[in-house]
């Protein structure tokens, strides 16, 4: 069994990734592996930025983690040989970590950084541009492999090879997958998903409203 660890640390800066409706599309979704220790503090990893802070970044989307095992699944599912660390725009490519079934509020110690699992990734059209696959958004939703956004609770440093240690797991049992499915696939799950107090306030309220509708 693989010891849970970081396979790579990936960063990127905003750049044009395509054109939509006659306008250039800027994004930092193109993340590339970087060597050596990197500082994690505030809402970012050193050397990483977001292009549109209205929908990306911030304390509840500070760092995005995706499992290498899920990338391997996509390699087979899509019949591609060009997918690897950073392909889904993740900052942390993990190995031996079930990002999708992590519990909301679960805490990870990685290097000297303490993270908290916060919410699933909800992909936008930029993922389709990045992967040159306009159908990937629907497939990504149906696959229920969204990866996990992390809050930075304690700043520090990390690097590829660091162990990912789960130091606390809340008892409510609401997982990243459950929340993603409640948003994208089955609104009947919204009430259950809203039971995780560690979800961002606006998302939790949206889920509660959806359950009450």
The answer, yes or no, to whether residue 53 has pLDDT greater than 90, is no
The set of residues, in sequence order, having a beta carbon less than 8 Å from that of 13 and lying 6+ positions away, is: 28, 47, 48, 49
- Distance of alpha carbon 106 from alpha carbon 116, whole angstroms: 6
pLDDT digits (tens, 9 = 90+) for 54-86: 667 789 999 999 999 999 999 999 999 999 999
- Distance of alpha carbon 147 from alpha carbon 62, whole angstroms: 13
What does DSSP say about strands 23-27 and 15-20: parallel, antiparallel, or unpaired? antiparallel
Helix (H, G, I), strand (E, B) or coil at 26: strand
pLDDT digits (tens, 9 = 90+) for 91-148: 999 999 999 999 999 999 999 999 999 999 988 889 999 999 989 999 999 999 999 9
**What is the pTM assigned to this prediction?**
0.95
What is the pLDDT, as a whole number, of residue 18? Answer: 87
Tokens of 167: 């130091």
- Distance of alpha carbon 199 from alpha carbon 178, whole angstroms: 12
User: Where exactly are the structural domains of the chain?
Assistant: 5-171
Q: Which one, of 71, 95, 69, 74, lies nearest residue 84 by Cα?
A: 71
The four Cα atoms 172, 177, 179, 184 give a dihedral, to 10 degrees, of: -160
Q: What is the CATH number of domain 5-171?
A: 2.40.33.20
């Amino acid at each position: 069994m693989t010891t849970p660890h970081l396979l790579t640390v990936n960063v990127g800066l905003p750049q044009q990734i395509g054109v939509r409706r006659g306008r250039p599309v800027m994004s930092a979704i193109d993340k590339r592996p970087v060597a050596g220790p990197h500082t994690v503090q505030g809402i970012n990893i050193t050397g990483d930025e977001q292009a549109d802070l209205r929908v990306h970044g911030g304390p509840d989307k500070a760092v995005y983690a995706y499992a290498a095992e899920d990338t391997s699944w996509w390699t087979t599912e899509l019949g591609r040989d060009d997918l690897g660390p950073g392909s889904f725009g993740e900052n942390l490519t993990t190995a031996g970590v079930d990002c999708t079934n992590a519990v909301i509020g679960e805490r990870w110690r990685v290097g000297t950084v303490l993270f908290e699992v916060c919410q699933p990734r909800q992909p936008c059209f930029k993922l389709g541009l990045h992967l040159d696959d306009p159908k990937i958004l629907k497939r990504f939703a149906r696959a229920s492999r969204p990866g996990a956004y992390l809050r930075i609770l304690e700043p520090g440093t990390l690097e590829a090879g660091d162990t990912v240690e789960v130091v606390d797991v809340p008892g409510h049992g609401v997982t990243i997958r459950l929340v993603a499915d409640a948003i994208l696939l089955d609104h009947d799950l919204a009430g259950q998903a809203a039971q995780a107090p560690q979800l961002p306030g606006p998302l939790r309220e949206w889920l509660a409203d959806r359950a009450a509708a």
